């Protein structure tokens, strides 16, 4: 995450940044693996899109789940938020990097489902704090042999579920 937070998306050699961030973050494992994961992330379609448009990395967002004065507040750090100036007007695409090992399509689907509400929480907080619609939340599963991009399914429904769960947790 640290290297992807700092790198120019057009870079062809992230090795020095990977080394610096790994040392700074105390990641003392195989730097070749970390380097391969970062290179993989840089090739993701949604990251390539970000290279050419306005974007924000490690974006902190916080907002109440709705307009009720007693509404609970949700918060988080978005790995990458990309401004999408589509035909419907400006909106956001949210990217969440994942380094989970994924063995096959079934494991990928299970991991994506596990992260669905996390992505929806980011989307809800981003919409409520910026006023911009979130068009997509993309989970980028980084692997040394490539990145697999998975869109959060039924994002609107997942955002409603986040709102209801947050209210239930605080008892309002």
Q: Are 85 and 7 in contact (CB under 8 A)?
A: no
For residues 164 and 99, give the distance between their C-alpha atoms in angstroms, rounded to a whole number: 29
Summarize pLDDT for 72-91 with one digit per residue, the tens: 999 999 999 999 998 999 99
Per-residue confidence band for 16, with pLDDT thresholds at 50, 70 and 90 = low
Summarize pLDDT for 126-170 with one digit per residue, the tens: 999 999 999 999 999 988 888 999 999 999 999 999 999 999 998
Range of the domain at 58: 2-170
- Indicate if the alpha-carbon torsion angle 13, 42, 62, 117 is positive or negative: negative
Whole-model pTM?
0.84
Q: Are 134 and 91 in contact (CB under 8 A)?
A: yes
- Residue 68 contacts by C-beta under 8 Å, 6 or more apart in sequence? 172
Q: Please give the tally of structural domains in the chain.
A: 1
148: which strand partners? Answer: 141
Q: Higher model confidence: residue 48 or residue 24? A: 48
* CATH code at position 130: 3.90.320.10
| 3-state secondary structure (DSSP) of residue 74 | strand
Tokens 């070749």 — which residue?
Answer: 32
Tokens 């924000």 — which residue?
Answer: 56
């Amino acid at each position: 995450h640290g290297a992807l937070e700092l790198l120019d998306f057009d870079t062809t050699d992230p090795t020095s940044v990977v080394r610096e961030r790994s040392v700074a973050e105390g990641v003392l494992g195989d730097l070749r693996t970390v380097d391969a994961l970062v290179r993989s992330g840089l090739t993701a379609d949604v990251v390539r899109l970000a290279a050419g448009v306005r974007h924000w990395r490690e974006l902190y967002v916080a907002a109440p789940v709705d307009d009720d004065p007693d509404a609970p507040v949700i918060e988080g750090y978005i790995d990458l938020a990309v401004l999408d100036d589509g035909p419907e007007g400006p909106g956001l695409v949210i990217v969440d990097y994942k380094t989970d090992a994924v063995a096959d399509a079934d494991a990928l689907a299970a991991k994506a489902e596990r992260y669905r509400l996390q992505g929806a929480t980011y989307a809800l907080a981003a919409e409520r704090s910026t006023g911009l619609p979130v068009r997509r939340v993309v989970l980028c599963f980084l692997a040394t042999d490539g990145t697999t991009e998975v869109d959060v399914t039924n994002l609107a429904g997942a955002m409603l579920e986040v709102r209801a769960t947050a209210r239930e947790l605080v008892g309002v």
